[in-house]
Structure 1
């Protein structure tokens, strides 16, 4: 499955209208983004059940600001409309596979999912160290389930 370009016009519909969504924030002149792009595209092809969206840092400043993205590339994961991961940096294919596996297994309480869907803005809560979940690399930091 090809990646989907996300804009201010379709972001909320995509994130809230799908069970699991990965969002990759990139920029045209970002060298690390160029390194990570083939891995992200490969993940999209390998895992068509997970929506793989892309946000252009330069043209989608409203989304970038709402998500408080400061470094590129940044990867975010949403489960039932709730932000469950936000991490800057690049990942190799094995880490991406692990991320997808965790995203598939991640459970959100229905009340939390409903609250996320009604939120007026994208929020990026901070995980506390005792609530992080290790994965294939320390690259992954999962946000609290509540």
Structure 2
């Protein structure tokens, strides 16, 4: 499978309807983005069960702003609809492979419990 372009329209469907989604926030003028692109594309071919999406920050300014993207490339990963990883900077293939393995190995029950606890804590402060 290859990467696919992700836009604000249909964004939530992609996140909600797929178990694991990797998003590369990038721009055509960005040198590190161009260096990361083949690494990301190769991983997409090696992991057809994962959605590898590319978000062009120039064309999708509203989506980039919603995620407070201030540095590109930025990699974000969603698992079962939960943002589980976000990091700016280009990764090499070994680093991306470690992220993929880490995301696959997550105990999502524990992640959801942690998210619920953080939400309760924020609400208690209000």
TM score, norm. by length of structure 1 = 0.74
| RMSD over equivalenced CA pairs, Å | 2.1
Partner Cα distance (1:85, 1:60) in 2:
20
Within 5 Å, which residues of 2 pair with 1:99-110?
99-109=99-109
CA offset digits 1:109-143 (Å, max 9, x no partner): 29939x99xxxxxxxx9xxxxxxxxxxxxxxxxxx
Partner of 2:72: helix, strand, or coil? Answer: coil
Gaps of 5+ in 2: 119-126
Q: Which residue of 2 aligns with 1:37?
A: 37
In structure 2, distance between residues paired with 1:106 and 1:47 = 17
Higher relative contact order (CA 8 A, sep 6+): 2
Aligned partners of 1:105 and 1:60: how far apart in 2? 31
1:87 alignment partner, SS class: strand
Count of residues in Structure 1 that have an aligned counterpart in Structure 2 = 116
Larger Rg: 2
Cα distance, 1:16 vs structure 2 = 1.2
Q: Unaligned stretches of 5+ in structure 1?
A: 117-124, 126-146
Partner of 1:98: 98
Which residue does the alignment assign to 2:69? 69
In 2, Cα distance between equivalents of 1:47 and 1:97: 10
Partner residue, 1:8:
8
- 1:92-119 per-residue CA deviation (whole Å, 9 max, x = no partner) reads 1111111111111112229939x99xxx
Greater helix fraction, Structure 1 or Structure 2: 2
Going from structure 1 to structure 2, the CA distance change for 1:35 and 1:111 (only over 3 Å counts) comes to: closer
- In structure 1, what is the Cα distance between the partners aligned to 2:40 and 2:34? 10
Q: Could you list the structure 1 runs, at least 4 aligned residues long, displaced by more than 4 angstroms after superposition.
A: none
